[in-house]
Amino acid sequence: MGALEGKTALVTGASRGIGRGIARRLAADGALVVVHYGADEDAADGTVRLIEKDGGRAVTVGADLAEPDGHALLCTRLWEALAAAGAERGLDVLVNNASLTGGGHLAELSAEHYDRLHLVNTRAPLLLIQRLLPDLREDGRIVNISSAATRVAVPESIGYAMTKGALEALTLALAKDLGPRGITVNTVAPGHVATETDDLPLPSPEDIAEMVAFLASPAAGWTTGQRLEVSGGLLI
Ligand SMILES: NC(=O)c1ccc[n+]([C@@H]2O[C@H](COP(=O)([O-])OP(=O)(O)OC[C@H]3O[C@@H](n4cnc5c(N)ncnc54)[C@H](OP(=O)(O)O)[C@@H]3O)[C@@H](O)[C@H]2O)c1
Spatial contact of 142 and 168, defined as CB atoms under 8 Å apart: no
Q: What are phi and psi of 62, to 5 degrees?
A: -105, 140
Hey, whose CA ends up nearest to atom 42 of ligand 1?
Answer: 13
Which of 160, 174, 190, 231 is an active site residue?
A: 160
First to last CA, the chain: 38
Centroid of ligand 1 to alpha carbon of 180 (angstroms): 31
Confirm or reject: Cβ of 85 under 6 Å from ligand 1. no
- pLDDT class for 201, splitting at 50, 70, 90? confident
- Digit-coded pLDDT (tens) for 76-127: 999 999 999 999 999 999 999 999 999 999 999 999 999 999 999 999 999 9
- For residue 167 and ligand 1, the question of a CB distance below 6 A is answered with no
Domains along the chain with CATH numbers: 8-230 (3.40.50.720)
pTM of the model: 0.98
Gap between the Cα atoms of 151 and 136, Å rounded:
30
CA distance 19 to 206: 10
